[in-house]
Amino acid sequence: MSNKLGSIEAGGTKFVLAVADETYKVSAKKRIPTLTPDETLAACIDFFKENPVDAIGLGSFGPIGIKTGTADYGHILSTPKPGWAGTDMVGILTAALHVPIYFTTDVNASVYGEYIAGSAKDVDSAVYFTIGTGIGGGAIQDGQFVGGYSHLEMGHAPVMMHPDDDFVGSCPFHGNRCYEGVAAGPTIEARTGERGENLKRDNPVFDYINYYAAQMAFSAYVNLTPEKIIFGGSVINDDDMVKVRQYFNELNNGYIQVPDDMIVHSHFADNASATVGDFALAASLLK
């Protein structure tokens, strides 16, 4: 009998819940808004009681406790998302659903989905960046996530400001001194007064974001030398990759040789790489 796999893509704006078989064919799916922890996790529990699964992959916004055996494992940590800091996501869901849960970051789930069936399926190493409500990065090498004491926080690495950009930044911890503070989705409205989807793509704000995306890619390459660097999220699209590669080459200044197709957009529509990754991680718990 085929196992049923569950996916929880836990984002700062919405949770995407899904059920699939071992071929990742989806049989049920639901989007719910990210409200309070009690409301949101209750909706998750209701969904999986109506659609039972054998294991769940949970890719969450962070920071989170992912090191098993520690007191904060399974918890949301010092997130700026109001009301969520300290929430024991894994504990609450496990107590209600009684199935194993693979808990990791949303970007780890995404890079795993790309590695299993997406833009990185033919290579051994990759980095995935999401640029959306926040910015995060996940890295994989030979099927294993890169990390140590905790997960990566690539969105909060120091940034070099675009020469024409005087934005004060929106990160509550770092202002304009990290990528999330100058390039995440909320920075667009903070700069322009308009949501990104209401602006033409020739607006200078998108050029800034492409510049910062290239910086992230260049830093990832010189630190980790992945075979693929993949961008996803609601802010950046496939057409932006041309400009990102151009800025990458300017930053590189001829120092290292990289393939023209190293920097790519996500293989999946609607940022579904995290869902595929969650299914694959859930399946790994059943082997």
In-domain check, residue 114: no
Question: Domain check: are 132 and 242 in the same one?
Answer: yes
Q: For 133, phi and psi rounded to 5 degrees?
A: -55, -35
pLDDT digits (tens, 9 = 90+) for 221-250: 999 999 999 999 999 999 999 999 999 999
In-domain check, residue 135: yes
Q: Which residues lie closer than 8 Å to 261 by C-beta, 6 or more apart?
A: none
What is the mean predicted confidence (pLDDT) over 117-141?
94
What is the mean predicted confidence (pLDDT) over 165-181?
94
In-domain check, residue 42: yes
Q: Coil, strand or helix: which one is 284?
A: helix
pLDDT at position 80 is: 75
pLDDT at position 264 is: 97
Residues β-bridged to residue 144: 141
Question: Domain check: are 126 and 254 in the same one?
Answer: yes
Question: Domain check: are 9 and 99 in the same one?
Answer: yes
Q: Domain count for the chain, please give it.
A: 2
Q: Which residues lie closer than 8 Å to 95 by C-beta, 6 or more apart?
A: none
CATH of the domain at 222: 3.30.420.40
Q: Are 279 and 7 in contact (CB under 8 A)?
A: yes
Q: Are 29 and 78 in contact (CB under 8 A)?
A: no
Structure tokens at 200: 């033409």
Q: Residue 39: is its pLDDT beyond 70?
A: yes
Question: Domain check: are 88 and 50 in the same one?
Answer: yes
Question: Domain check: are 181 and 147 in the same one?
Answer: yes
pLDDT digits (tens, 9 = 90+) for 138-154: 999 998 998 766 777 89
In-domain check, residue 113: no
In-domain check, residue 250: yes
Question: Domain check: are 175 and 229 in the same one?
Answer: yes
pLDDT at position 148 is: 67
Tell me the CA distances in angstroms from 57 to 36, 60, 207, one per residue in order: 21, 10, 35
Tell me the CA distances in angstroms from 285 to 40, 54, 177, one per residue in order: 24, 9, 39
In-domain check, residue 23: yes
Question: Domain check: are 189 and 252 in the same one?
Answer: yes
Q: Are 156 and 171 in contact (CB under 8 A)?
A: yes
In-domain check, residue 100: yes
pLDDT at position 1 is: 64
Contacts 24+ apart (CB under 8 A), 154-160: 154/127, 154/129, 154/179, 154/216, 154/219, 154/220, 155/129, 155/179, 155/180, 155/184, 156/180, 157/216, 157/219, 159/183, 159/212, 159/215, 160/215
Residue with tokens 């090191």: 67
pLDDT at position 12 is: 83
Question: Domain check: are 47 and 16 in the same one?
Answer: yes
Question: Domain check: are 126 and 166 in the same one?
Answer: yes
pLDDT bucket at 220, cuts 50 / 70 / 90: very high
What is the mean predicted confidence (pLDDT) over 62-86?
90
In angstroms and rounded to an integer, the radius of gyration of the C-alpha atoms of the chain is 18
Q: Are 162 and 211 in contact (CB under 8 A)?
A: yes
Cα–Cα distance measured from residue 168 to residue 191, given in angstroms and rounded to the nearest whole number: 9
Residue with tokens 């151009």: 246
pLDDT at position 198 is: 92
Question: Domain check: are 125 and 261 in the same one?
Answer: yes
Q: Residue 103: is its pLDDT beyond 70?
A: yes
pTM of the entire predicted model = 0.92
Question: Domain check: are 130 and 217 in the same one?
Answer: yes
Question: Domain check: are 27 and 42 in the same one?
Answer: yes
pLDDT at position 2 is: 85
Residues β-bridged to residue 139: 127
In-domain check, residue 88: yes
Which range of residues forms the domain containing residue 155?
119-266
Q: Are 165 and 208 in contact (CB under 8 A)?
A: yes
Cα–Cα distance measured from residue 117 to residue 222, given in angstroms and rounded to the nearest whole number: 25
Residue 280 vs residue 68, higher pLDDT: 280
